[in-house]
Structure 1
Amino acid sequence: MKLKITLITFCITALSFAQNFSDQVKRFITVEDNQFAITNVTVIDGTGGEIKENQTIVVSDGKILRTGDADKIPMALGIKTIDGKGKTVIPGLVMLHEHMFYTTPFENWFSVSQMTFTFPRLYLAGGVTSMRTGGSIQPQSDLNVQQWINEGLMTGPKMHVTGPFIEREGPKVPELGFIGNTDEVSKIVNYWADKGVTSFKVYNNITKQDLSVAVSEAHKRGLKVTGHLCSLTYKEASEIGIDNLEHGFMASSDFALDKEENLCDPFSARTGLANEPIDGENINKLIDLLIANGTAITTTPNVFEPYTDREIVPGGGLDALLPQIQERLTSQHKRAQGRDSSSIALFNKNLAWVKRFYDKGGILLAGTDPTGAGRTVAGYANQRTVEILVEAGFPLVDAIKICTIDGAKFLEISEVTGTVEEGKQADLLLIDGDLSQDIKNIRKLETVFKDGVGFNSKQLFESVKGKVGFN
């Protein structure tokens, strides 16, 4: 009787499932069935548990109806099936330091440009089904894109938008707004909270008082604050109550000698990081403090990836860029070969510290930050981030967990996404290969299911080749 009720319920809910998409979105959709099943597939479910083989996942009304051993899962007659033999399913990626902009320097000016159309497609192509922008230069544009994706008018992931950077004047970046005094902080937080952003980001040159007001005002509204810091140490920010710190430990000024309060000295901060022993007393005390305070860290290793013996664009996205940008990056890459030993050492040290933080119980999240020298490209970078975590010694199931359910928990959406579990939205990635044999098989992503609708990853990537840097 229970089986009959399940099948009847399955059919009824399937009939109610319908989504409307524009023609621009429909051209990327390969699966839009009310009900379907992926059969005989390997599943890494995002919980950190063991990898399961020969599984079947049944989807109905955009949600996971059933999952389990293939020989034990009943299916309705005539249901569409997708053969998963030799393939792997993982949850859709939930990434926490994404941007809708990309580095576009001019002469000796650092600048960024909004990628309103290319980046949403690329994020989805790379397997990102939910993301948080890690600071916005055009927050209203980001909110519009969020709405249009939700309405089926644009192609992209489910977005959580962060407000404009909260920053005092420092290096001349024309896209940043600068506050002149602390009184402006509460106005920024409340104005953009009313507009619909769900978090805020403080930046390099803020004061303790600025952060205190940002945290207080955001927390009153149930919103979170993250930070890419320099003028404040991680210890100071954690004790004030910041929710999240960006870039692993690469933005920490805690080890700088003679650190002046509320002032950023990037050279001293980097020197301090380089001089701190990999198992030093100070880093271990800092890790323990952050864990005790429940301060999350977002690792963004892709944006710091060294040059020597690495891809020009890590993750393989060079041909996504405008030709002139490809030329610039290729030239920079050739010049940097064999000349970045200090960067390599710091890159590896930071990953060791990030793993120690995670192993000791810290809240670790992951993201990409498509800025820096321009080598970090949305979508490609997200897949590469998972690869880097595995290369750094994280067990495969933990790397997937960090990039899925742990991000979902931080965004407070873990009840509906982040794992391959019955009752959750069908945010799934179907990959043609075995990740346990080679993590780079993640680049063989075939279909990205967002709320049960399957998008062709290859077509999404192809649709914006040679266009990143323009829009």
Structure 2
Amino acid sequence: MFLALGPGQAQQFTPQVQEFIAVNAPSVALTDAKVIDGTGRPALLHQTVLLQNGRITQVGPVKKVKVPAGAQVINCAGKTLIPGFVMLHEHLYYTMPAGPFFNIAQMPYSFPRLYLAGGVTTIRTAGSIEPQTDLAIKRLVGEGKLIGPDMDVTAPYIEEPSMDIPALNTVKGPEDAAATTRFWADKGCTSFKMYMHATRADLAAVVREAHPRNLKITGHLCSITYREAAEIGIDNLEHGFMASADFVANKVADACEPNVRQSLLRLPQNSPEMKSLINFLVSKKVALTSTLPVFEPYTDREVVLGGGLEALIPQLQEREMATWKQNQRKDTASLRLFKKEMAWEKQFYEAGGLLVSGTDPTGAGRTVAGYANRRQLELLVEAGFTPVQAIKISTLNGAIYLGREKQIGTIEAGKQADLVLINGDLEKDIRQVRQMEIVFKNGVGFDSAKILESVKGKVGLN
């Protein structure tokens, strides 16, 4: 076994994990870096960041920070340091149809690795299909037996019977929803996700059970409008405004209407109705998760977002290539709605809303853990956010939502040493986020490229 010091305790790693550790010393000095610290403050040049036993102990100009004797020194000239991503719509599963049915399958080996290699040091799984597996992976990562991020595990979906998705959990009414909440809270799940056909009564039942335990509820909604959910007490809404049924004409209560997408396509980008909804959500302190990768159009864009085609098994590479070719020049409506969604997310942010980041590796199968997280940062910049803002949304804002902003989310003295070393300048070219070299979690530096290489051709197997 290999000894590595974490905050407050010694952590051990198995040989299978040790193989991918590039930096592991009690004292580390990252010198002459450009630092984008996650707070939203401007980037700082020529900075030294000191790490000691898994914590950040000092951040300051090279000329003012003294490197301790015996520290491992890493020269970061020409490179950027950012906090580890804290992303809140992640899954440990991937799109794998079951015959004619849409379905999803657990990826317990490849996805945790991909997340960490992609700079993600903390995730919330926004809905589980194998919660017992997710909880076990969380434990195994914590014990140094698997490579992966820290995890907040969400319980199985709270969804009424409606869709023929074999892996999807369902409940029958609010009493069942409440019982499900109690059961998985006792098992260690820290959040709950309402799904498309859940009713207002279901949500109210989950709120009554979860909130007294200081646990939170999010939702990919349809039957319930965003305004209704905020009134009942939901904490978070997924997919930006893409799942908002608030603009469906003559909407039937507790019914998932088929024309949500059309109502959003018809809604003007700068409509007073959207402004009113945004202001209401902000007043209720409801966070909004941006999941731009899962909605990215096909035309003139990558097959697998963030460049992860080689991560898939050959059969899935063929599937994704065929789907990509079939959709070229056929997604103009998707592009229009995608651009609107970007604008609405920016309006929410500028109104003072807590915008957080995620990727949702489901959809058609183009969204792959790790690669998509880097792509999310690029897409936020495409939406008009500065690189500094995009990093804050993807780091500190997620930590604030989780209530962990005193421990993670920024590069500041006293914080857990979760940070990413990138070979390039993100303010000059955000796509250089793909040039990750070392991902530090609890002060232990993992070799990003080596991990990615180890998972090539694995997604779809496990």
Report TM bin, short chain: over 0.9
Question: Aligned AA for 1:353?
Answer: W
**TM-score relative to the length of structure 1:** 0.96
Deviations 1:366-405 (A, max 9, x none): 1000000000000000000001001110011110000001
Q: How does 1:426-445 map onto structure 2 within 5 Å? A: 426-445=417-436
Partner residue of 1:59 out of 43, 48, 51 = 51
State the match for 2:211 in structure 1. Answer: 219
State the match for 1:411 in structure 2. Answer: 402
- 1-side partners of 2:317 and 2:8: how far apart? 47
Give the superposition deviation at 1:16: 8.2
SS in 2 for 1:55: strand
State the match for 1:349 in structure 2. Answer: 340
**TM-score relative to the length of structure 2:** 0.98
SS in 1 for 2:12: coil
State the match for 1:324 in structure 2. Answer: 315
State the match for 1:8 in structure 2. Answer: none
Q: Give the gaps of 5 or more residues in structure 1.
A: 1-12
Partner residue of 1:158 out of 150, 153, 163 = 150
Kept in 1, the 8 Å contact 2:7–2:416? The answer is no
Please say if 1:83 is aligned against 2:78: no
State the match for 1:229 in structure 2. Answer: 221
- 2-side partners of 1:14 and 1:308: how far apart? 45
Partner residue of 2:87 out of 95, 107, 110 = 95
Q: How does 1:43-58 map onto structure 2 within 5 Å? A: 43-58=35-50
- 2-side partners of 1:442 and 1:284: how far apart? 33
Q: Give the gaps of 5 or more residues in structure 2.
A: none
Question: Aligned AA for 2:274?
Answer: I
SS in 1 for 2:325: helix
Partner residue of 1:462 out of 441, 453, 456 = 453
State the match for 1:361 in structure 2. Answer: 352
Partner residue of 1:247 out of 239, 245, 253 = 239
Question: Aligned AA for 2:72?
Answer: K
Q: How does 1:23-422 map onto structure 2 within 5 Å? A: 23-266=15-258, 268-422=259-413
Kept in 1, the 8 Å contact 2:119–2:439? The answer is yes
Kept in 2, the 8 Å contact 1:17–1:34? The answer is no
Deviations 1:209-229 (A, max 9, x none): 000011111001100000000
Question: Aligned AA for 1:370?
Answer: P
Change (3 A) 1:75 1:136: same
Give the superposition deviation at 1:180: 1.6
Deviations 1:346-373 (A, max 9, x none): 0000110000000110111110000000
- 2-side partners of 1:242 and 1:216: how far apart? 11
- 2-side partners of 1:179 and 1:237: how far apart? 18
Change (3 A) 1:440 1:190: same
- 1-side partners of 2:218 and 2:7: how far apart? 42
- 2-side partners of 1:395 and 1:209: how far apart? 40
Change (3 A) 1:398 1:14: closer
Give the superposition deviation at 1:18: 3.5
| Structure 1 vs Structure 2 CA RMSD | 1.2
- 2-side partners of 1:264 and 1:58: how far apart? 52
Question: Aligned AA for 1:372?
Answer: G
Kept in 2, the 8 Å contact 1:17–1:62? The answer is no
Q: Which stretch has the larger CA shift, 387-396 or 104-113? A: 104-113
- 1-side partners of 2:174 and 2:204: how far apart? 10
Give the superposition deviation at 1:14: 10
State the match for 1:5 in structure 2. Answer: none
- 2-side partners of 1:14 and 1:343: how far apart? 45
For these two proteins, the number of residue pairs brought into alignment is: 458
Percent of aligned positions with the same letter in both sequences?
Answer: 52
- 2-side partners of 1:343 and 1:327: how far apart? 23
- 2-side partners of 1:439 and 1:213: how far apart? 43
- 1-side partners of 2:6 and 2:284: how far apart? 45
Question: Aligned AA for 2:338?
Answer: F
Give the superposition deviation at 1:339: 0.7
Give the superposition deviation at 1:107: 3.8
Give the superposition deviation at 1:176: 1.0
Deviating 4+ runs (over 3 angstroms): 13-18
Kept in 2, the 8 Å contact 1:104–1:113? The answer is yes
Give the superposition deviation at 1:15: 12
Kept in 2, the 8 Å contact 1:46–1:420? The answer is yes
SS in 2 for 1:37: strand
Kept in 2, the 8 Å contact 1:130–1:158? The answer is yes
